[in-house]
């Protein structure tokens, strides 16, 4: 622990005196005069991962969380507002009522804020709810302020800063602080989108470049099964396979989900607002959406239909750790165009974070504290639950606020299956999708036929094998089928942190739950090889945000599934004039009495496979579907698709609170 400076001791004494807490003198300021937070150290900050002390002048964003005044009461309110059959069902409170009842007092908040300022830390932002304060400082400043030292640790293929011992605050602030986020794990938050590109998904696995023409020509299909090609040698007696999808249009997706007739009857999302949260902001989003819509024969955005609350580019921070504004541009494009494609009359509110850490918290708080929407789609995740326990609690408070206000939060479940590759081999779902207070949206592979109906649906999990030419001139595979290389698949699994919520009991198999929360809850289209066509002007320079020419591309990921579900909720809220709010208790209650309301997503026999040829490398692949790491699709609930595929019948029951 760092030695106390004379200045720090004086500040502790001043804060203690202001709080009415006497101390024996400045010299008495020691570890005994401080409240420590062992739950604010991430599990990966170990001696085995320690790369040494951070440079004193290394700067970092940090976040301090304040406790709710009545955490048990906040949970009870969130539950009763969301549980069908309870008298307060769907009687959410206003943001002001929630803040007045549960948020930290202004006096406690001011005391914490004053302490941070006294340490010369730069205050970045804080919400109206007073639940947290975001600030920045050097490693030396942060270490002095919180009685620890910052070190660099190797985790998830990155070097991240974290406290080397439990941080602390002066005893005068005891009870006013719930946790201190001094580590950079939240900056691993990333968009959950996936493009069609086996070479990029597994660059070390493939790469036998085709020098001349592709070994197999696989034109993309505008609908499932439009093109079928012969791919020798036989696999399970099969040599003919359909090709991958060029990218479904909004009309095809609406048809597949049974929404086209509703749209024709005027159920288009009018009067509803879907909020979307991502990091940064695309400089051309409205122009892109209108170009894309025109090309697809869809209505363009009417004036005022799209609104955004975004930071100025000069406020963007932590771009390198957060994958740059260009890394989030496709995410924002998918979100906006998916919502507009499914619910063309719904209002869209985009709130961008200045980074992928505290900036995303602040974006969510802006929606909650102003109650700017009651449907919020969040297409990002940490890829882990290995955040400090105190940080997880602080984040959970935001989700409790949303549920109590009658706001439904939909989070993508992730694109890396059980996330073991991201977490040093630890199998766990992605947070925030693993929170019991959000609706986690998993992914499916969907075949949409020439009549815009679902011809097949299975769990999203793609493996691939490259088609190569053998020495004798025959065609073969680089490795054993069904494909040794995992390209991406719906995230999910059993939480290592959160207890099983009551709504999952009796629905999620005990062998899977083991007393813990399991994600996801529902699922929708996510496979990029049966994906969605978007259009945008890509950022070609992250410094200037200069963009290139308009391009059409096909993308997927649970980033696509989440806004598809959110947009359908907007449609059913328009039709039923109901506000659904936090949906999970009703979703699981429906499954108890009417499981047929869900499209049960099950494995295909024989397994579905698609032929794909890269337009850039010329490499050809056979992509086998429903192969998702240790997660498996099965009848009824599973950890790839949850309860199953969303249907409008289901959502109608959901809106009515039927169970």
Q: Write out pLDDT tens, residues 367-378.
A: 999 999 999 999
pLDDT score recorded for residue 473: 84
Report whether pLDDT(13) > 50.
Answer: no
Q: How confident is the model at residue 392 (pLDDT cuts 50, 70, 90)?
A: very high
Q: Which residues pair with 448 in a beta bridge?
A: 454
Q: Between the ranges 23-27, 210-214, 368-372, 648-652, where is the mean pLDDT highest?
A: 368-372
Closest-CA residue to 253 (of 565, 642, 628): 565
Q: Write out pLDDT tens, residues 323-369.
A: 999 999 999 999 999 999 999 999 999 999 999 999 999 999 999 99
pLDDT score recorded for residue 423: 76
CA 275 → CA 239, 340, 379, 654, distances in Å? 45, 12, 11, 20
Q: Write out pLDDT tens, residues 274-333.
A: 999 999 999 999 999 999 999 999 999 999 999 999 999 999 999 999 999 999 999 999
Q: How many Å apart are CA 597 and CA 522, to the nearest integer? A: 12
CA 624 → CA 20, 98, 192, 214, 487, distances in Å? 67, 49, 21, 20, 10
Please state the pTM of the whole predicted model. 0.93
Residue 414 has a CB neighbour count (10 Å cut-off) of 35
CA 142 → CA 54, 126, 174, 225, distances in Å? 11, 18, 18, 59
pLDDT score recorded for residue 30: 53
pLDDT score recorded for residue 351: 98
Residue 101 has phi, psi (to 5 degrees) of -90, -35
For the segment 20-40, the average pLDDT, to the nearest whole number, is 61
3-state helix, strand, coil in the chain (%, to 5): 30, 25, 40
Q: Write out pLDDT tens, residues 595-647.
A: 888 999 999 888 899 999 988 888 899 999 999 999 999 999 999 999 999 88
Closest-CA residue to 519 (of 494, 488, 483, 538): 494
Tell the residue number behind the tokens 């207890």, with chain if given: 499
Tell the residue number behind the tokens 């994600």, with chain if given: 519
Handedness of CA 415, 419, 420, 421 (dihedral sign): positive
Q: For residue 548, what are the contacts with CB-CB under 8 A and spacing of at least 6?
A: 537, 538, 539, 540
For the segment 36-59, the average pLDDT, to the nearest whole number, is 95
Q: How many Å apart are CA 490 and CA 640, to the nearest integer? A: 6
Lowest mean pLDDT among 6-20, 72-86, 171-185: 6-20
The terminus-to-terminus CA distance of the chain in angstroms comes to 56
Lowest mean pLDDT among 257-261, 286-290, 430-434, 585-589: 257-261
For the segment 113-129, the average pLDDT, to the nearest whole number, is 98
Report whether pLDDT(396) > 80.
Answer: yes
Check residues 4 and 252 and name the one with the higher pLDDT: 252
> Which ranges of 371-475 would DSSP assign to H, the alpha helix?
389-405
Q: How many Å apart are CA 60 and CA 560, to the nearest integer? A: 32
DSSP 173: G
- H or E element at residue 228: strand 228-235
**Does a cis peptide bond (omega within 30 degrees of 0) precede residue 466?**
no
pLDDT score recorded for residue 335: 98
Q: For residue 505, what are the contacts with CB-CB under 8 A and spacing of at least 6?
A: none
Length of the chain equals 659
CA 308 → CA 298, 304, 346, 353, 408, distances in Å? 21, 10, 14, 11, 19
Report whether pLDDT(28) > 60.
Answer: no
pLDDT score recorded for residue 16: 42
Q: How confident is the model at residue 203 (pLDDT cuts 50, 70, 90)?
A: low
Report whether pLDDT(2) > 60.
Answer: no
For the chain, what percent of residues have pLDDT higher than 70? Answer: 93
DSSP 4: P
pLDDT score recorded for residue 45: 95
551-556: strand order across its sheet: 194-195, 551-556, 532-536
Helix axes 648-656, 558-576, angle to 10 degrees: 50
Q: How many Å apart are CA 419 and CA 401, to the nearest integer? A: 28
For the segment 399-403, the average pLDDT, to the nearest whole number, is 98
Report whether pLDDT(573) > 70.
Answer: yes
Q: How confident is the model at residue 233 (pLDDT cuts 50, 70, 90)?
A: confident
CA 573 → CA 115, 509, 578, 581, distances in Å? 45, 31, 5, 10
Q: How many Å apart are CA 344 and CA 250, to the nearest integer? A: 10
CA atoms within 13 A on the CB side of 114: 17
Note the Cα 612 to chain centre separation in Å. 28
- Average pLDDT of the residues of the chain: 91
Closest-CA residue to 42 (of 432, 388, 422): 388
DSSP 437: T
CA 583 → CA 163, 273, 365, 373, 641, distances in Å? 37, 17, 20, 15, 16
- What would the two tokens of residue 246 be? 């060029």
CA 448 → CA 73, 225, 452, distances in Å? 46, 9, 5
């Amino acid at each position: 622990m760092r030695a106390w400076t004379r200045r720090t001791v004086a500040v502790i004494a001043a804060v203690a005196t202001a709080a009415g807490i006497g101390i024996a003198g400045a010299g008495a300021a020691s570890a005994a005069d401080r409240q420590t937070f062992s739950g604010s150290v991430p599990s990966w900050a170990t001696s085995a991962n320690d790369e040494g002390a951070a440079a004193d002048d290394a700067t970092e964003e940090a976040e301090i969380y304040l406790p709710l005044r009545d955490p048990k009461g906040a949970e009870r309110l969130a539950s009763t507002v969301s549980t069908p059959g309870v008298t307060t069902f769907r009687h959410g409170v206003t943001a002001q009522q929630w803040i007045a009842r549960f948020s930290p007092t202004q006096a406690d908040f001011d005391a914490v804020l004053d302490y941070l300022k006294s340490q010369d830390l730069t205050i970045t932002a804080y919400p109206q709810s007073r639940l947290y304060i975001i600030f920045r400082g050097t490693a030396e400043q942060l270490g002095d302020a919180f009685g620890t030292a910052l070190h660099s640790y190797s985790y998830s293929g990155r070097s991240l800063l974290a406290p080397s011992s439990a941080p602390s605050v002066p005893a005068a602030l005891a009870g006013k602080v719930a946790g201190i986020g001094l580590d950079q794990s939240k900056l691993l938050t990333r968009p959950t989108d996936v493009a069609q590109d086996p070479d990029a998904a597994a660059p070390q696995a493939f790469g036998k470049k085709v020098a001349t023409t592709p070994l197999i020509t696989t034109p993309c299909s505008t609908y499932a099964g439009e093109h079928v090609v012969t791919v020798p040698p036989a696999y399970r007696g099969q040599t003919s396979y359909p090709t991958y999808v060029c990218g479904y249009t909004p009309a095809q997706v609406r048809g597949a989900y049974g929404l086209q007739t509703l749209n024709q009857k005027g159920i288009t999302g009018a009067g509803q607002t879907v909020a979307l949260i991502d990091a940064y902001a695309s400089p051309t989003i409205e122009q892109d959406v209108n170009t894309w819509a025109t090309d697809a024969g869809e209505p363009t955005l009417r004036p005022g239909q799209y609104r955004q609350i975004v930071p100025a580019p000069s406020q963007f921070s932590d771009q390198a750790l957060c994958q740059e504004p260009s890394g989030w541009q496709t995410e924002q494009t998918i979100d906006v165009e998916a919502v507009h494609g499914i619910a063309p009359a719904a209002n869209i509110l985009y709130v961008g974070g200045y980074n992928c850490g505290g900036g995303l918290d602040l974006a969510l708080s802006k929606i909650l504290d102003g109650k700017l929407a009651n449907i919020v789609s969040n297409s990002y995740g940490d890829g882990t639950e290995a955040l400090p326990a105190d940080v997880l609690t602080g984040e959970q408070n935001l989700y409790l606020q949303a549920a109590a206000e009658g706001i439904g939060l939909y989070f993508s479940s992730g694109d890396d299956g059980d996330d073991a590759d991201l977490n040093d081999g630890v199998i766990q779902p992605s947070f925030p999708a693993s929170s019991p207070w959000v609706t986690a949206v998993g992914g499916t592979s969907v075949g949409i036929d020439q009549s815009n109906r679902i011809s097949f649906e299975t769990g999203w999990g793609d493996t691939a094998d490259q088609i190569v030419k053998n020495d004798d001139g025959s065609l073969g595979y680089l490795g054993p089928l069904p494909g040794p290389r995992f390209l991406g698949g719906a995230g999910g699994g059993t939480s290592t942190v959160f207890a099983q919520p009551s709504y999952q009991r009796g629905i999620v198999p005990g062998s899977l739950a083991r007393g813990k929360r399991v994600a996801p809850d529902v699922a929708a289209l996510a496979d990029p090889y049966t994906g969605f066509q978007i259009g945008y002007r890509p950022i070609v320079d992250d410094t200037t945000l200069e963009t290139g020419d308009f391009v059409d591309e096909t993308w997927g990921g649970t980033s696509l599934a989440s806004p598809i579900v959110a947009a359908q909720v907007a449609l059913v809220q328009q039709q039923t004039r109901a506000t659904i709010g936090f949906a999970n208790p009703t979703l699981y209650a429906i499954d108890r009495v009417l499981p047929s309301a869900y499209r049960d997503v099950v494995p295909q026999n024989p397994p579905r496979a698609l032929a794909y040829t890269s337009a850039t490398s010329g490499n050809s692949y056979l992509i086998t579907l429903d192969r998702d790491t240790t997660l498996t699709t099965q009848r009824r609930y599973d950890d790839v698709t949850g309860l199953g595929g969303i249907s409008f019948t289901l959502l109608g029951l959901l809106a009515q609170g039927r169970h």
